[in-house]
Amino acid sequence: MNNEMWGRQQQKFRQRMSQFGATPLLSLKNRDASVFLAHSNFDAYEGSYDKEPFLRLQLCTSHVGRIYRDSADGMRLDGIIRPGSYGLTLPHTEAEGFWPRLQALAILIKPGHLSQFGDGISLQQLEPISHKLHRDPLVSAVMTAMWRDAEVHGLTSAFFDHGLALILKRLSEYRLNGGGADVRPARPLSKAHLKKVQDLIESRLNCDIRTNELAIECGQDVRSFTRSFRASTGFAPYEYLTLRRMERAKQLLHSGTSITEVAFLVGYSNPSKFSAAFRRFYGCSPSIWRREQRS
């Protein structure tokens, strides 16, 4: 594909993103137009996923919610996406589903140039991991560093190329290890145990609660309980507790409660820590969120 054709593909990509309610915050390409980077806000969406001519690696940078994708090839992705979660979409993948409001960093690679950044990696080899959400501190940290470097230097630095090669090598290790850090399926909690745990969490949103307390309610050890809780809700216990605190915080902010008081009511002794947690979930500070709701 020559640069003129690639430019047309980029234009089509931007048009598709606009149709999906995406607001680009950053949009860059490298010298030979083999890689495209975009950091965007996305509105919640449900419908068809258009086929793209790129290999897409996408990292969630803000917001939490459920994402679902049912591909024409029979592959299905169903999970909770949150900051640090990332996924891989192969070129020309036809699918339908939905995603929540989120902010995401996407790196798109021309398939013909994949070997330029990752020795011995092919699209076929990446297929087994393309229908899962992953959480890997290394990949998240490297993508974030590449994003920040690109804001200053564009996609022309040796650092960016090195970071992309490192990520692709990591993905190949997932393939060789049968999917990386994924563990065997856990048995979900019973409905009765799940309700008991959720009720206990709701009663303790304003104070500390430990995972072992929740595990005792179900007669399990902490490790088994954590896996069962995640299988039931898509969240680790602490992640779920934080989510419920943030949802409760939005209700209190909407009612006019001061930010300092909201912080205390949802278990934060330090208002600045509450504000930082709120920003990670919703992409803005509590004060800005409340102002937007009133406008």
Domains for the chain: give ranges and CATH numbers.
Answer: 3-176 (2.60.120.10), 191-294 (1.10.10.60)
Least confident span in 21-30, 39-48, 102-111, 119-128: 119-128
CA-angle at 8, arms to 168 and 28, nearest 5°: 50
For residue 283, give both structure tokens.
């992409």
For residue 233, give both structure tokens.
């809700």
Asked if pLDDT for residue 20 goes beyond 80, the answer is no
Distance, CA of 209 to CA of 205 (rounded, Å): 8
Q: What is the mean pLDDT of the chain?
A: 83
Query: Would you say the pTM of this structure is higher than 0.85?
Result: no
For residue 266, give both structure tokens.
């949802």
Nearest 10 degrees: CA dihedral of 19, 23, 25, 26? 10
Least confident span in 4-13, 68-77, 131-140, 286-295: 4-13
DSSP one-letter code for 208 = -
What is the chain's length?
Answer: 295
Q: Residue 255 in 3-state DSSP?
A: coil
Across 257-286, b (16+ Cβ under 10 Å) vs e yields bebeebbbbbbbeebeebbebbebbbbeeb
Which residues sit opposite 71 in a β-bridge? 95
Tell me what percent of the residues of the chain surpass a pLDDT of 90: 30
